[in-house]
Structure 1
Amino acid sequence: MRRIAFLSALGISLMLSACKDRPQSRATAEDVAARVNGVEITISEVDRLVEQQLRASAQQGQAPPTPAELAAARLQVLEGLITQEALYQKAERLGLLPTEEEIIQGVQQFKRERGLSEEGFQRTLRELGQTEEQFRREIRRQLAIRKLFDREVTPRITVTDREIEEFYKANKAQFVERRGFALSRILVTPERDNVPDDAIGAEAAERKIREIHEQLRRGADFATVAARRSEDPLTAARGGEWGFFPEMTEQFPEALRARLLAMREGDITEPIRIGNAWLILKLVRRIQRDRELTL
């Protein structure tokens, strides 16, 4: 299960981190992982994306991947980059590149879907190690690939109501809302996160998380504090909103899961240390029993 979670996160990383522009100068032979019609994909590019996800996983308190998981992850990233490049080249040949207006709309959609203000967007770019121009070029690539799918793939897909119903009946176990927790979080790490109010070093990180906890204890709004002081740009931009976690998730230690089970909606935890990171969690919503979803 942990391997699946790690590799799934890498897939998300490929989409959100976006590939940096291909280098203009040719890479050394030792650094070339693959060539797609003469366009080089480098080992350093693969390693950069894997390392980015490793840092994100460590911040969430997840155990480091095993050597086998790491090797599988690097292969998955490489395959993803090769596929993206091949699809983009085909879209380019077919004249399916997006207009400037479509690129602007794509950037705005990215911000809306993640609830990002302009400040939050810039923080996210810094976290991803990208300039805005590099991000716009990646949006251009993704839109071109989407146009290719809309033209070459989507028209060939037809699904009848009967097929939908049959799939639902055969896979009812997948259509269940599991009991669990909707959580928000404030994250502080001793690393250099390139965010305002950044705590550098173990002592500074612990001091900051305890200051934040005292603010919250005195009645400060969690979302406001998360937006201003959390060191995770993605969740900070959403006021700390982290996501939904099944009750039996392996991501949390047993003691933390027990703590969450004892909380009421709206409660916050004391500062929690997981690995090098410090967390304060807020229980936003709890689903106490499984619920079957219907068509």
Structure 2
Amino acid sequence: MNPFEDMRIFCQVMDSGSFTAAADQLGLSKQFVSRRLMQLEERLGVRLLNRSTRRLDVTPLGQSYYESALRLLGEVEQVEQGIAGETAEPRGTIRLSAPLSFAVAHLGCLLPLFLQRYREVTVEVDLSDRPVDLLGEGYDLALRIGVLEDSTLIARRLASIERVYCASPAYLAERGTPLKPEDLHSHDCLPYGHGRSVQWRFNEGPGKPVLVNVTGRMRVNNGELLRDAAVQGMGITYLPTFIVGAALKDGRLVPVLDDLRPEPLTLSAVYPQHRQASRPVQALVEFLRERLNQSHVNL
């Protein structure tokens, strides 16, 4: 096995967090992966990983080797893709993770168009609202909405997503229309997610955010269910326009406190550093940026 293969094995172990997970991703045995890394350390004359029964900890030299290996492997991949002609035609499989509601609203029509444009690309999509571990679970790309946590992942902005506070006309006729954020204390709200306390954010001016604790009889981690409950007069909800846009357009829902609406969320594409040179991944990212920023797309 050549040094580049040892680099690939080491980087996969770092990305996956264990010999077992790396072996599964590479289609090798755990014993083989462990033995190759021991031989790599012997050849280099340094310890790259500190091993224990519970975890692997990278040494400072191991971290330095990892970062250099990622760059070298990326350059090798670019060279190989250029020789194979893939700079003109991306080829390969993309494992994509995306939020459920957003994917249902937009990816169902966009992905077929992408695959029609790039005939040699295959896409495997996993829909989940949880923040998946791209490295540990072997994803090439993930779409995420909102503020991103600091990480070694590369992030590309795709689009802005507006959110709106809204309720049905029947609910507002019965309970009144809130005129300021504090009025929500006397209303039934339909917050997204779980937990004892949910806060909604309002902007009363530059640098003047207002946070209001809201409660209600129904709390769900799915936007479509909350939208439908709001349409049926169960309360006020706060959701992205790609979920409630049609109901707002036909009058089943109406906006409230709209002049205090917070700034839009950011939709980002995130991917591991070693996928930066991947032609299929970059092609999909650019395709989504192009399509989602067209004026007719309701985000």
Output the TM-score relative to the length of structure 1: 0.22
Larger radius of gyration: 2
